[in-house]
Amino acid sequence: MKRILLALFFLIAPITTSAADPSALEQQIEQVRRERAVLVEEQKKLQAELDVINRESQSLGTAVKSLDTTRKKLAKDISITQSKITSTSLTIKSLENTMGEKERQIITHRQAIADAIATLSSYDSRPLIFNLLAAAELSDLWKDKSQLDILNDRLEDEIGALRETRKIINLEKEQKEKVKAEQENLKGQLSGQKSVVEENQKAKERLLTETKNKEAAYQKLLAENIAYQRQFEDDLTRLETELRITLDPSLIPSARHSVLSWPLDKVFVTTKFGYTQDGIYTKSGGFHNGTDFRASMGTPVKAVLAGVIEGAGNTDEMNALYKKQGKPICVSYGRWILIKHNNGLSSVYAHLSGSLVKAGQVVKTGEIIGYSGGAYGVNGSGYSFGPHLHLGLLASQGVEVRPLTNSKGGCKEIFMPIARGIDAYLDPLAYLPAL
């Protein structure tokens, strides 16, 4: 009996919880949900306004207007994330409440079991001959036997109830840990969103300073950017030709839809992969090495497939120094992330306004890894004149992170994903879900 009680003690070790009014918690959770619904509607209106602005012709006024509207939209994004964090906190408290109630039930079950075992022990400790002599009549002995059967049945029922209650508590513990993990993820997203807001504000200040609020100066900056990009494309083509290897086709999965998932919640393709006449990144008739998606600055970007972060960086980091030194700047990917997947593919995400990952980190399919950018003048935009996401896809055997060693511009000192031949580039739309 002692061994049974000892085993039960470890089985039902107490849980420390904080008490709170369940009805009050439910009301708070519902109130937060209603407030978030209002924020989401406001966010949608600002997003629609941004879509219109970003389709307007390139001008200083449009660029400033886009940054201002983006700032307002980002503020709503942050408020929604904070609301989700509040909801998870309330959910955790609610789970702690139910776990506390279940713990009290366990205490009741433990007491009932202890009482039943104590009674059974008193019978078990006496020899059978003593029970026979102590009974006034034989029927009394059978009555005691019947009571023992009832006690035994009660003991089994209480043990069953105890196990079921413990099972529920374990499930609620798992749920609590999931909610806690979600909360930590949201806190990471909140930090990333705040950094995007900071980049947005700096970009506006930088843009107004460099142009002195004059349209002609803005157009001159755009023209210089195009010239730098042409130089970058020439440098990149030359190095990729030098590094070219013969790819092993058996290591490249066959192109079929839904091998990858979408990198954005809302999908709109603006520029496709391959040779194009109108690609944002390409010269007339140039080769576009990925797919561009419409996305306002600060839109969450997700991993298209589980994998390991092979590298993450920002080719814009040295540009401020290069400008002071009068050197050509590096206009390429800007802030980028490279993920190596276990199926022979690697994905590149470029022109980001924020990154949430670092090299060596393992990510899941659909996990938020950063935030889209591309707005002109924003740190991390690289060569881009409008908010969007550039998604590149390569054969893993044909890509490496290294400096553009033969660059005539600033990219010579900056590490970035380089293909080992143009054949290493693959069409993302051939592997993404069908449009």
Under-50 pLDDT residues of the chain? 1-18, 128, 130, 132-136, 138, 140-143, 279-284
Structural tokens at position 355: 């990154």
The whole-number pLDDT of residue 135 equals 47
**Residue 277 per-residue DSSP state:** S
Whether the Cβ atoms of residue 380 and residue 354 lie closer than 8 Å to each other: yes
The whole-number pLDDT of residue 3 equals 39
Domain residue spans in the chain? 2-181, 214-430
Q: What is the C-alpha to C-alpha distance for residues 272 and 369, in angstroms, rounded to an integer?
A: 23
Whether the Cβ atoms of residue 106 and residue 21 lie closer than 8 Å to each other: no
Round the CA-based radius of gyration of the chain to a whole number and report it: 32
Three-state secondary structure call for residue 286: coil
Tokens 């009549």, residue located: 137
Q: Residue 50 phi/psi, 5° resolution?
A: -65, -40
- Quote the distance between the C-alpha of residue 129 and its chain's center: 72
Tokens 């195009």, residue located: 226
> What CATH number does domain 214-430 carry, 2.40.160.40, 3.10.20.740, 2.70.70.10, 3.40.50.2000?
2.70.70.10
The whole-number pLDDT of residue 18 equals 47
Q: What is the C-alpha to C-alpha distance for residues 345 and 251, in angstroms, rounded to an integer?
A: 9
Q: For 355-398, what is each residue's pLDDT tens digit?
A: 999 999 999 999 999 999 998 889 999 888 889 999 999 999 99
Strand order in the sheet with 352-355: 300-302, 368-372, 352-355
Q: For 87-137, what is each residue's pLDDT tens digit?
A: 999 888 888 888 888 778 778 777 777 776 776 666 555 554 545 444 445
The whole-number pLDDT of residue 352 equals 96
Structural tokens at position 357: 């990952």
The whole-number pLDDT of residue 277 equals 57
Instruction: Give this prediction's pTM.
Output: 0.81
